[in-house]
Amino acid sequence: MIRAMIETSLIDWDGKLTTVLFFDKCNFMCPFCQNWDLMLNSEKFPLIEWRDIERKLLARKKWIDGVVLTGGEPFVYGEEVLSVSRGVKAMGFLLKIDTNGSYPDALQELISKDLVDYVAMDIKAPLDERYNEAAGRNIDIKKIERSVRLLMEGRVNYEFRTTCVPGMINEGTLGEIGERIRGARTWVLQQYVPENAYDEKYRQLTAVTAGEARTFVDIARRYAVNAKWRGRSGN
Ligand code: SF4
């Protein structure tokens, strides 16, 4: 269900002006999540009906490039993602989806139906038991691996993105992740935002310094065709 909307955004798809739609649930509970209020207290946010979204998109048709589906995790609502994506594409907009990568079947369906133009997939930690701490849940790492493989087939433009959470992401763990995505098209490293993190402990951590960020990007460049730093992010 969609419960929040940014009507015009310059920061949710590099180089594109977008409208951003937020789905209100997630199957993870990352301790550093910034959008936990929407997910845990969703009744505070009124539902936004598709007809209202459609009306607002049509009013912006001349200057909006695309629509971003984010959350939460959009694929918690697989059928709704399909129908919203069909509606968005029928209006002639580009579509981006942000995902935690734990729904490879739904992702594959969206790609095979040509309903998505860009996928941003989180890679939160090395692909082993450490992922559970980053996700705040015991997760099926095979599903993350399947989504990685699917995107690396290159049928849709994509980025992997890693939030540089202190204690979780360092030169060593970045190298471990890099080995699993070697040859990826784009790997974006994101600044850690302590304020408003879901877990109180994570609000005490400090953001990555400029020097660390440069070192991290240099490491990512060994593995991905494009590697870059992104200043601030909600995930
Ligand atoms: S950071 Fe993303 S994947 Fe993690 S709980 Fe928040 S919305 Fe879900």
Q: Is residue 101 part of a domain?
A: yes
- Ligand 1 contact via 173 beta carbon (within 6 Å): no
- Ligand 1 contact via 30 beta carbon (within 6 Å): yes
- Ligand 1 contact via 42 beta carbon (within 6 Å): no
Please give the chain's pLDDT, 235 residues, in tens: 999 999 999 999 999 999 999 999 999 999 999 999 999 999 999 999 999 999 999 999 999 999 999 999 999 999 999 999 999 999 999 999 999 999 999 999 999 999 999 999 999 999 999 999 999 999 999 999 999 999 999 999 999 999 999 999 999 999 999 999 999 999 999 999 999 999 999 999 999 999 999 999 999 999 999 999 998 654 4
Name 92's Cβ contacts closer than 8 Å, sequence gap at least 6.
61
Gap between the Cα atoms of 107 and 221, Å rounded:
26
For residue 117, how far is its CA from the centre of ligand 1 (angstroms)?
22
Q: Is residue 35 part of a domain?
A: yes
Q: Is residue 234 part of a domain?
A: no
Q: Is residue 120 part of a domain?
A: yes
Pocket test for ligand 1, best of 20, 21, 100, 233 (most atoms within 8 A of CB): 100
Give the Å distances, CA to CA, from 7 to 14, 22, 51, 88, 194: 16, 11, 15, 14, 26
Query: How many CB atoms within 10 Å of residue 84?
Result: 23
**pLDDT value at residue 234:** 45
For residue 122, how far is its CA from the centre of ligand 1 (angstroms)?
9
Inter-residue contact 147 to 183 (CB < 8 Å): no
Q: Is residue 205 part of a domain?
A: no
Q: Is residue 175 part of a domain?
A: no
Give the Å distances, CA to CA, from 147 to 54, 103, 132, 168: 30, 7, 17, 21
Q: Is residue 157 part of a domain?
A: yes
The atom number, within ligand 1, closest to the CA of 36 reads 6
Short-list 221, 234, 143, 134, CA closest to 186: 221
- Ligand 1 contact via 26 beta carbon (within 6 Å): yes
CATH number at residue 78: 3.20.20.70
How many structural domains compose the chain?
Answer: 1
68 lies in which domain range? 2-167
Inter-residue contact 119 to 96 (CB < 8 Å): yes
- Ligand 1 contact via 72 beta carbon (within 6 Å): yes
For residue 71, how far is its CA from the centre of ligand 1 (angstroms)?
8
**pLDDT value at residue 232:** 63
Inter-residue contact 7 to 19 (CB < 8 Å): yes
Q: Is residue 78 part of a domain?
A: yes
